Amino acid sequence: WYLTGSVAILTDALESTVNVVAGLIGIYSLYVSAKPKDTDHPYGHGKAEFLSAAIEGTLISVAGLIIVYEAINNLVHPHPIQKLDYGILIVAATAVINYITGSICINTGKKNNSLVLIASGKHLQSDTYSTIGIIAGLVLLYFVQLWWIDSAVAFIFAFIIMFTGYKIVRTSVAGIMDEADATLLKKLVVTLNTNRKPNWIDLHNLRIIKYGGTIHLDCHLTVPWYMNVHEAHHEIDVLSALVKNEYGESMELFVHSDGCLEFSCRICTKDDCPVRQHPFEKQIEWTMANIVSNKKHAVNTL
């Protein structure tokens, strides 16, 4: 930016600066979130990642506002732009580095369920796409010599940057407020329906909370009322193994076992039940809507 005086390049420069600051904050939040549970934080310190992502999103949005200001100022007080050829080459090099680094962050973040790494990786890759657009605008400016193009390009990508910042803040606020993860729930519902056991008569009051790289899941599982404690616990162990096989050891499962009631007979598929009171009528398929309900399922709830 100092070399060329281009506001469009300033857009890329400010984003890179935000990346460095946000990266340092992210490193510290990963250190905090990796701390073991203690008496003050029985669920761990994973929420620190959400706070870090919120700060990063805010910084990105502020950078966008600064760029808008500079672009307006450049239109009101235009100035010549110099050495665009060197500027384009330098910015292109940063685009390549950003994309490679972003890919590494996203892959590592997905493996470890880390919001900070995923957010940083997506931010870096979005930088690459915006940089390509900026380069295209600078190439056009280089050939046509219309100086207002510089501010126009800066405006476009400033709003893209601010929208990216908004999405990151929105995701972090959702995590802090324990908003339900629809994608995770949908995947879990498919897994449970596919691997459903005869003794799993009903599943309800299911809740998922993410603390950084750890996922906490609790639910109520209805099993035959005549099972003893060990038998009921075995069914819970089978459910736990299924979920952990799907999501990894970072999943913590807390299951409350309920004994079936008389109305459960009509939805129970257990063929060898010795105490059945009513004939089987219809199995209730578990859905995102009914597994989060705090009511036991029955035929009349279909």
Assess whether 208 and 76 both reside in one domain.
Answer: no
Tokens of 243: 């979920």
3-state secondary structure the chain: CCCCCCHHHHHHHHHHHHHHHHHHHHHHHHHHHCCCCCCCCCCCCCHHHHHHHHHHHHHHHHHHHHHHHHHHHHHHCCCCCCCHHHHHHHHHHHHHHHHHHHHHHHHHHHHCCCHHHHHHHHHHHHHHHHHHHHHHHHHHHHHHCCCHHHHHHHHHHHHHHHHHHHHHHHHHHHHHCCCCCHHHHHHHHHHHHHCCCCCCCEEEEEEEEEECCEEEEEEEEEECCCCCHHHHHHHHHHHHHHHHHHHCCCEEEEEEEEECCHHHHHHCCCCCCCCCCCCCCCCCCCCHHHHCCCCCCCHHHC
Assess whether 139 and 14 both reside in one domain.
Answer: yes
pLDDT tens, residue by residue, 286-302? 888 888 888 887 776 54
Assess whether 187 and 213 both reside in one domain.
Answer: yes
Examine residue 123 and state whether it is found in any structural domain, yes or no: yes
Q: Which residue numbers in the chain have pLDDT < 70? A: 42-46, 115-116, 174-181, 211-213, 249-250, 300-302
In this prediction, residue 233 carries a pLDDT of 92
In this prediction, residue 199 carries a pLDDT of 93
3-state secondary structure 193-235: HHCCCCCCCEEEEEEEEEECCEEEEEEEEEECCCCCHHHHHHH
In this prediction, residue 181 carries a pLDDT of 66
Assess whether 42 and 92 both reside in one domain.
Answer: yes
* CATH number of the structural domain spanning residue 149: 1.20.1510.10
In this prediction, residue 62 carries a pLDDT of 84
Assess whether 97 and 149 both reside in one domain.
Answer: yes
In this prediction, residue 249 carries a pLDDT of 63
Tokens of 289: 């809507």
Label residue 81 exposed, middle or buried (CB < 10 Å: 0-12, 13-18, 19+).
buried
Q: CB atoms < 10 A from the CB of 86, how many?
A: 11
Domain holding 15, by residue range, is: 7-176
Examine residue 2 and state whether it is found in any structural domain, yes or no: no
* CATH number of the structural domain spanning residue 252: 3.30.70.1350
